[in-house]
Amino acid sequence: MTSFLDSFSFQTRYRGSKIKMIPAIYDVVKKLEFETVLDAFAGTGVVSYLFKRMDKQVLFNDHLHFNYIIGRAIIENSETRLTKADVDQILKPKPYEEHSHLIEEQFADIYYTNEENVWLDRVISNLYEMEPGYNQDLGFWCLFQSCITKRPFSLFHRRNLNLRTRNVKRSFGNKVTWDTPFDIHFKRFVEEVNGYIIKTKKSCHVLRSDVMQVPLNYFEQGFDLVYIDPPYIPKRGENIIYRDLYHFLEGITQYDEWESQIDSKSKHKRIKPLYNVWNDKKSITNVFTDMLDRYKNSTILLSHRSEGIPSTNDLLDMLNKKWTSVSIVNSIGHKYALSTRDSNEILILAHN
């Protein structure tokens, strides 16, 4: 018998993506009665996409602009696909003097070769000449994926172009992929993303908001289910701050203002850091308490890592104060790229 997940095809290339947790998440949610769902920290969109495939009414929410565009392209969009004319428009040649050279000038020898930087400036210029809409969003999605796939570790966390260009034996990465021209990657991702577009009976929506500001009545009946996968704060070591890891993609989405936002003190020219309470070890427990209180009328499915703050026991205590049934429904061992520690990915279900 063919299972629902046999037809679930979705690739993600982001750190922290829940793609490997999809079978476990589906095993839980398929048993629940719900029609509306908030994906509160939607990120890559993979869990929202699962809910969309289940024909639920989804609100994808994320505070990063590039993730918002990803959500529009794949979750909110139900019919639009990139055409050959769109791709020709995005990749068309343009005289050197007719577009900005921000990446070429600001990011020389940091992430990509000079030729690749010129390509990026030109293609970004072409994308911004398109009418705002799903075609443009899909084009940005393909560009984001192309940028990530040509990066060591798929991140923008340090100045390390030399990992690509040095003629040495490597024990990691894929130099062939890194050195494949942007045009080829982009066209491959066009085919990929066009395959993700599905029309469902219920409309799906995208929001770029603080999780505490999402309107509780966004859907008339509220949110039957809230899926929560907040930023991970480890008990030991540095925080994982996604805005820093993917600042280059965020910069692309604010191209005209990007130069003024660059942190000149950082060697890899990240965007100037902003305070985010979800990255604050001192405040995170109170923030969790407030968030859970806000969504106390919904069923909660919470993704958590065993080495994170708050602790699993603390989270269970918080949830037990507001819901009558709280349980750990899955725990999977996992290690992320660049991490030296093993930890468990835990799913906690809370409902009345």
Q: How many CB atoms lie within 10 A of CB 329?
A: 15
Domain-located, residue 346: no
Task: Give yes or no: residues 64 and 184 share one domain.
Answer: no
Check residue 23 and give left, alpha or beta (phi > 0: left; psi -120 to 50: alpha): alpha
- Render pLDDT for 46-105 as a digit per residue (tens, 0 to 9): 999 999 999 999 999 999 999 999 999 999 999 999 999 999 999 999 999 999 999 999
Q: From residue 236, how far is each of 109, 232, 314, 337, 341 by CA, in Å?
A: 32, 11, 17, 17, 10
Task: Give yes or no: residues 323 and 185 share one domain.
Answer: no
CATH number at residue 219: 3.40.50.150
Task: Give yes or no: residues 131 and 181 share one domain.
Answer: yes
| Strand extents, DSSP E, the chain | 36-39, 57-61, 205-207, 225-228, 299-305, 325-334, 343-351
Domain-located, residue 69: yes
- Render pLDDT for 211-234 as a digit per residue (tens, 0 to 9): 999 999 999 999 999 999 999 898
- The C-alpha atoms of residue 281 and residue 231 are separated, in whole angstroms, by 11
Chain-centroid distance, C-alpha 132 = 21
- Render pLDDT for 30-44 as a digit per residue (tens, 0 to 9): 999 999 999 999 998
Domain-located, residue 352: no
Q: Phi and psi at residue 80, in whole multiples of 5°? A: -70, 135
Domain-located, residue 349: no
Buried b (16+ CB within 10 A) or exposed e, 105-144: eebeebbbeeebbbbbbbbbbbbbeeeeebbbbbbbbbbb
Q: Rounded to two decimals, what is the model's pTM?
A: 0.93
